[in-house]
Structure 1
């Protein structure tokens, strides 16, 4: 599937393109809750939830006290901006 331009807002990307993008970034889709995605890197792991208004990210146990760090990204941001922010880690 051809991705829209990386500088294009995520709301211009059809859902299958967003799902394909997440897969190419190393994410795995939850088999029961299809809007939940997970990624594990060497120094962090995250849960990504595709919501109606945007993409919510929880970096699991990434806080100084072991709590989750939560971030939200609107679909009006470009795919490249979201990619740079989310996949650079907490």
Structure 2
């Protein structure tokens, strides 16, 4: 399965393509909450949600005093823009 071009907005990606994209970046789908994905990198970890109108990311214990940092990206953004922002880390 080939992904649409990276300048395609996320809302033009079928759900299986978005799931493939997340898996390709090392994300693991939550078995109980299928819209939730987990990502562990060497220096940070995050939870990613495929919400109704946006992709939400929470970087765990990445802020001041160990607080979580949360960001949201509308599906109207291109896959490349979201990829650059999310996978760069907190």
What TM-score range do you get, normalising by the shorter chain? over 0.9
Given the two structures, how large is their TM-score scaled by the length of structure 2? 0.99
Aligned to 1:4: 4
Alpha-carbon deviations, 1:10-47, whole Å to 9, x = none?
A: 00000000000000000000001000000000110000
SS at match of 2:65: coil
Aligned to 2:41: 41
Paired residues, what number? 90
5+ residue gaps, structure 1, are none
Runs of 4+ in 1 over 2 A off after TM superposition: none
Q: What pairs with 1:7-86 in structure 2 (closer than 5 Å)?
A: 7-86=7-86
5+ residue gaps, structure 2, are none
Given the two structures, how large is their TM-score scaled by the length of structure 1? 0.99
